[in-house]
Amino acid sequence: MGTRLSMASRAPLGFPTLPLSNGLHIPVLGLGTSHQGGYSHDAVVYALQKCGIRHIDTAKRYGCESLLQKAIKESDVKREDLWITTKLWHSDYGYENTKQACLESCKRLGVQYLDLYLVHWPDAQVPGKSNREVRAETWRAMEDLYEKGICRSIGVSNFLINHLEQLKEDCKITPHVNQVEYHPFQRPQELVDYCRGRNIVFEGYCPLAKGEALTHPNIIQLAKKYGKTPAQICIRWSIQNGIVTIPKSTKIERIQENCEVFDFILAEDDVAIINGMHEGRHVSWDPSSIV
């Protein structure tokens, strides 16, 4: 089924991980955060203390990095046991800006280093410069941050094959991760295969399609078959397809539910049913028009 789960190297409480090309292991299940009410202090503390979550995904754009610092401190989970990802917003692209923005994110998060730093979006929006030019300049700063150990791994988000091909020509280090929308209606298998062929770990956000997948008859039927919830079916499907998966919720009971996906396995025929639901529907950004 295309999984590369490393059962030998697990996150705490048995969460499996996937190996990055630099030898680090990223937990396959994380907790996403977001802007517009997408943050709850109590939910993050609960996820860390009670659910075994060790992978937290955030971004400068979400505006909750400093809030996460408080939640992590309150959880008493050791920094070395955590995987913290944040992202560089396009207003900070460019060589010097990128390095400064990274240090500012570290300060807001209360950490000395990031486990993963991502270029958030392929559109640079810099007047007088091409996107490719700015992405290359930005990525050189990411490489410097990686070589200095401020970022233990570096990657991109919402990058398609053409963006990754340009980066390959312009820069030295291949991204360790590409984080892209991934759910039953949006399964960009060509991009997944491209990333796998270049040892780029594929990470999927919006695994529930912002709730739209939860009412689909196929998902409901499989939930009944396995005695699980529709959300658990979607998350398990994503993980079985070898995707690092980061559902987000502000509700404690939902986070608990989203973590209970390692005690069952979807049959190959059932994975194929969900794979067949792909229709190219986006519930988030569509980067296909960005050159």
Q: Mutual orientation of helices 268-275 and 230-240 as an angle, nearest 10°?
A: 100
* Mean pLDDT calculated for residue range 180-205: 98
Percent of the chain residues topping a pLDDT of 70: 95
Question: CA-to-CA distance for 130 and 185, rounded, in angstroms?
Answer: 32
Query: How confident is the model at residue 15, as a pLDDT?
Result: 86
Closest CA to 184 of 134, 235, 147: 235
**Residue 4 confidence (pLDDT) above 60:** no
* Mean pLDDT calculated for residue range 139-163: 98
The one catalytic residue in 39, 46, 62, 182 is 62
**Residue 11 confidence (pLDDT) above 50:** no
**205 in catalytic set:** no
pLDDT in tens, 34-88: 876 778 999 999 999 999 999 999 999 999 999 999 999 999 999 999 999 999 9
Closest CA to 41 of 69, 81, 77, 3: 69
120 labeled part of a ligand binding site: yes
Q: Mutual orientation of helices 252-259 and 41-50 as an angle, nearest 10°?
A: 30
Domains of the chain in sequence order: 12-278 (3.20.20.100)
pLDDT in tens, 216-271: 999 999 999 999 999 999 999 999 999 999 999 999 999 999 999 999 999 999 99
Q: What is the DSSP letter of 186?
A: B
Query: How confident is the model at residue 9, as a pLDDT?
Result: 40
Angle at 160 between CA 177 and CA 94, to 5 degrees: 70
Q: Are 36 and 65 in contact (CB under 8 A)?
A: no
* Mean pLDDT calculated for residue range 147-161: 98
